Amino acid sequence: MALENIIIQQKTRNSDIVAFETLFRKYYADLVSYACRYTRDMDAAEEIVQEFFYNYWKNRKEINIKFSLRAYMYRSIRNNTLNYLEAVSVRRKYADRILSSANSQGYEDSSVEVSELNERIERILNELPERCRTIFCMSRFDGLKYEEIAEQLSVSVKTVEANIGKALKLLRKKLETSL
């Protein structure tokens, strides 16, 4: 690892905000460009990189990079980008499943438009208690595993499972009655 990066990493680990800002400025544009190659969406790429730097700062004392800070950052961005793409895929599959369910019940594509269905889902999700909605969105839209959600929210995996079940039950019930 380059001596400069070792020094920046050590200073960042010791909560030196100037060193962290130096690291951010040095790599931000290149990391966004790298993420954009996968997402083909500049806004999403910027969000992924910003989220990486936020988590890097938040976990700076626990992160122990043995070889290359640059390689660590690129690997993290790659993994975060792949998680993002998987979450997008999950959202599409979920919307497709709801649409196919509506179509199998005798509805035509023209009668149930995607935007209208999305509005219904959004309204139903807004009826959920805040924690339940947050957990459901983290699972279904962000593609996080139950264990990851539990860790981030400092709750048990059973709590996550219960909230997901509650959200799905309400979604099914409300969508069946509104279709």
What are the DSSP calls for 108-144, one per residue? -TTTS-HHHHHHHHHHHHHHS-HHHHHHHHHHHTS--
Residue 109, pLDDT > 70, answer: no
pLDDT at site 102: 58
Mean of pLDDT values over 70-98: 82
Mean of pLDDT values over 60-83: 87
Written as six digits, the tokens of 52 are: 């990486």
First to last CA, the chain: 59
In tens, the pLDDT along 119-160 reads 777 788 888 888 888 888 888 888 888 888 888 888 888 988
Domains of the chain in start order, with CATH, are: 3-83 (1.10.1740.10), 113-178 (1.10.10.10)
pLDDT at site 103: 56
pTM: 0.53
pLDDT confidence tier of residue 113, bands split at 50, 70 and 90: low
